[in-house]
Chain A
Amino acid sequence: MKIALGPLLYYWSRQQTLEFYAQIAESPADIVYLGETVCSRRHELRAEDWLDVAAMLKAAGKEAVLSSQSLIESESDLKALRRIVAQDGFRVEANDMSAVNLLTKAGRRDWIAGPTLNIFNPQTLSMMAESGATRWMAPPEMSGAVLAELLASGAPAIETEVLAWGRLPLAHSARCFTARHYNLQKDTCEFRCLGMKDGLVLRTREGEPFLTLNGVQTQSARVHNLLADLPTLRDTAQVLRVSPQGDNTVAVLELFRDAIAGTLSPLDAFTRSKTLMVEAPCNGFWHGRPGVEQYVSA
């Protein structure tokens, strides 16, 4: 089982970001997804910077992957996508059907079908594999049982990745909810999300943390945490994805390494992870329940 670090979904300063990936180079992550996937206005790191980070991680023995933007709206977004597809130093994660189209046309046979492609059945997965995908990530809302059924129903032999840690990416919008909070428009947002290391928490009127505003993306407030579910993950996933968070990401990766290696039981790993989360855990999606629920308490 491999450990992947998902793309950084928040907007950290250039220095914070570079320092973060310098730490990741020393971490147990086997695969690191890089690049801006949420908002095209976020430019602390330019395309060349991301390539430099990818090269640094590759030199440290990691597989570096360039992730494409999830919601593509403009020709300049497409231009950025074409650049990612044109480079051949690193594999690409396709997060939109535009990326699948361009990768296929470029004859790439090594890409990763990302979580926003809505792959819910073996027929669609086979189509992605025939088009050149060699790994795919299940949609986070897919349960373990449905995934197992998919894999048993004639799915192609490509790697399966599952989101195992992090705030759930729940939705994308044209509207920037962070800018809206400050009564600003997206085009003149003053980059208010810059430096919010874990986004902006939205609470119910009873004070319960419910969602996280991260620019045009809406996430869960709770941390999707499948450490205790490792036994069922072993049967279905070859790659476990950890989503970066403001603090303790390396410690989380280390817990996954120890739990996968068996030096720590899944329940012990889950117990230890409680101090590493920004909010309470949840794992409902994996159990076919509302995602907000923590189905197995440990």
Chain B
Amino acid sequence: MTSNTKIELVCPAGSLPALKTAVDHGADCVYLGFKDATNARNFTGLNFDAKALAEGVRYAHDRKRKVLVALNTYPQAGNWAGWTAAVDRAADMGIDAIIVADPGLMAYAQKKHPQLRLHLSVQGSATTYEAINFYAERFGIQRAVLPRVLSLPQVQHVIANTQVEIEVFGFGGLCVMVEGRCALSAYATGESPNCNGACSPGKHVRWEQTPQGMETRLNGILIDRFDDGERAGYPTLCKGRFDVNGETYYAIEEPTSLNTLELLPDLARAGVRAIKIEGRQRSPAYVGQVTRVWREAIDKVMRDADSFAVQPAWIAELDKVSEGRSHTLGAYYRPWK
């Protein structure tokens, strides 16, 4: 692998305006989902119906960009037909790949639409080349998205041992748990990323001003409490403050965003084929801002990885849209673990 392997910038599109913004600001690919539980960002007011998708595909393809459809939740016996119909719909719309987690659904897609590109979703929890190669041999997947748990050397090792294109997360919300292996939301609310496409869903959220401060609850469970003047964040349950052995702190993770901008030359040299920006639930303004910075950074790395330097203006831009206005290298940086 050489440093001049092209890296695709894969940007989130929670809506048609976000899709257009991503394309206009330099995304190579946009990824999106339907308005139902077939994708892992099943939030009210988000995602695409058939009409919006048709227009989105036309808009992107007219500008030589790709559209990827995430069908990355796990179908069950009772709703299987809904997921296969979504595969068919995506294929019929002429999209460029589907992003899938469930092996059964991959088998269906491979059989019914042999020309359709399959990307293994991060929800598939494949952290090794042995796992990724399994999906490649069985279902012909052409790309795999790595969960946000590997260090940079581990990412390099995976790439060196598979022919499958590797996509990694570059920026956005940091999922601290192995994607596809987390039932914390299901435990608290009954709705899970795996089955319902939702984590800490809004309908279970309560904000309440109390004499102790602003309290945020998820299905009645106290996730955090904020003093006056402290900015009260959304109660994503792994980013709350809890008590362990009499000490109250962010026991799992602080509210912060992932940002791997400074690793970009290393990721390029390792042969990473695509960088994913997280945030289908975010606004078109977020998508535009983040896409612009990453487009510029990737172009610089592609021209000359050795002289690449992170520009302070990029970080300033990205911090504006980061959770808690801070960022981390997450697991790519070993001491984070």
* Interface positions of A (Cβ within 8 A of B): 70-75, 77-78, 81, 96-98, 100-102, 104, 116, 118, 120-127, 139-141, 146, 149-150, 152-153, 168, 170-177, 180-181, 185-187, 200-208, 210-211, 213, 218, 220, 284-285, 288-292
* Known contacts A213-B251, A290-B187; A74/B337 CB under 8 A: no
Cα of A75 to Cα of B150 in the assembled complex, Å: 12
**Chain B residues near A121 (CB-CB < 8 A):** 74-77, 80, 102, 104
**Chain B residues near A200 (CB-CB < 8 A):** 244-245
* Interface positions of B (Cβ within 8 A of A): 74-78, 80, 101-105, 107-108, 124-128, 130-131, 133-135, 137-138, 148-151, 154, 157, 176-178, 180-184, 186-190, 192, 194-195, 219, 221-225, 238, 241-245, 247-248, 251-253, 331, 334-337
Cα of A175 to Cα of B148 in the assembled complex, Å: 11
Partner of B150 from the list A120, A174, A284 (CB cut-off 8 Å) is A174
Report whether over half of chain B's contact residues are helix, strand or loop; otherwise say mixed.
mixed
* Known contacts A171-B182, A173-B178, A185-B337; A98/B130 CB under 8 A: yes
CB-CB nearest in chain B for A75: B157
Cα of A177 to Cα of B337 in the assembled complex, Å: 9
**Chain A residues near B244 (CB-CB < 8 A):** 181, 200-203, 213
On whether the beta carbons of B104 and A123 are closer than 8 Å, the reply is yes
Interchain nearest-CB distance for B74 vs A (Å): 4
Partner of A120 from the list B102, B225, B253, B335 (CB cut-off 8 Å) is B102
On whether the beta carbons of B102 and A118 are closer than 8 Å, the reply is yes
Cα of A186 to Cα of B124 in the assembled complex, Å: 24
Cα of A173 to Cα of B250 in the assembled complex, Å: 15
Cα of A171 to Cα of B222 in the assembled complex, Å: 19
CB-CB nearest in chain B for A97: B131
Cα of A206 to Cα of B216 in the assembled complex, Å: 12
On whether the beta carbons of B182 and A98 are closer than 8 Å, the reply is no
On whether the beta carbons of B128 and A170 are closer than 8 Å, the reply is no
**Chain B residues near A150 (CB-CB < 8 A):** 76-77
Name which of B124, B125, B194, B245 has the most chain A CB atoms within 10 A of its CB.
B125
Interchain nearest-CB distance for A152 vs B (Å): 7
CB-CB nearest in chain B for A282: B187
**Chain A residues near B130 (CB-CB < 8 A):** 72, 78, 81, 97-98, 101-102
Interchain nearest-CB distance for A119 vs B (Å): 9
On whether the beta carbons of A101 and B108 are closer than 8 Å, the reply is no
**Chain A residues near B189 (CB-CB < 8 A):** 290
Top 5 nearest A-B pairs (CB, nearest first) are: A123-B104, A174-B149, A101-B134, A98-B130, A124-B104
Cα of A291 to Cα of B221 in the assembled complex, Å: 13
Return 7 A-B CB contacts under 8 Å, by A number: A72-B130, A123-B103, A123-B105, A127-B138, A187-B337, A205-B224, A291-B190
Interchain nearest-CB distance for A221 vs B (Å): 10
**Chain B residues near A124 (CB-CB < 8 A):** 102-104
* Known contacts A71-B127, A150-B76, A208-B221; A177/B187 CB under 8 A: no
On whether the beta carbons of A127 and B194 are closer than 8 Å, the reply is no
On whether the beta carbons of A220 and B135 are closer than 8 Å, the reply is no
Cα of A204 to Cα of B225 in the assembled complex, Å: 10
**Chain A residues near B75 (CB-CB < 8 A):** 120-121
* Known contacts A123-B104, A127-B104, A290-B187; A100/B134 CB under 8 A: yes
Partner of B78 from the list A70, A149, A177, A207 (CB cut-off 8 Å) is A149
CB-CB nearest in chain B for A122: B77
On whether the beta carbons of A172 and B103 are closer than 8 Å, the reply is no
**Chain A residues near B108 (CB-CB < 8 A):** 123
* Known contacts A98-B128, A100-B134, A101-B133; A127/B182 CB under 8 A: no
**Chain B residues near A288 (CB-CB < 8 A):** 190
On whether the beta carbons of B76 and A120 are closer than 8 Å, the reply is yes
Cα of A75 to Cα of B127 in the assembled complex, Å: 11
On whether the beta carbons of B222 and A204 are closer than 8 Å, the reply is yes
On whether the beta carbons of B183 and A168 are closer than 8 Å, the reply is yes
Given contacts A118-B180, A285-B186, 18 further A-B contacts (CB under 8 A): A71-B181, A73-B154, A120-B194, A121-B76, A124-B103, A124-B104, A127-B104, A141-B186, A141-B187, A149-B78, A170-B182, A171-B177, A171-B183, A172-B178, A173-B252, A174-B148, A174-B150, A175-B176
Cα of A218 to Cα of B102 in the assembled complex, Å: 23
* Known contacts A121-B102, A139-B194; A205/B187 CB under 8 A: no
**Chain A residues near B104 (CB-CB < 8 A):** 121-127
**Chain B residues near A100 (CB-CB < 8 A):** 134
CB-CB nearest in chain B for A216: B337
On whether the beta carbons of A72 and B242 are closer than 8 Å, the reply is no
On whether the beta carbons of B150 and A73 are closer than 8 Å, the reply is yes
On whether the beta carbons of A123 and B107 are closer than 8 Å, the reply is yes
**Chain A residues near B138 (CB-CB < 8 A):** 127
* Known contacts A97-B135, A101-B133, A213-B251; A208/B222 CB under 8 A: yes
Interchain nearest-CB distance for B226 vs A (Å): 11
**Chain A residues near B182 (CB-CB < 8 A):** 170-172
Cα of A159 to Cα of B244 in the assembled complex, Å: 39
Interchain nearest-CB distance for A254 vs B (Å): 28
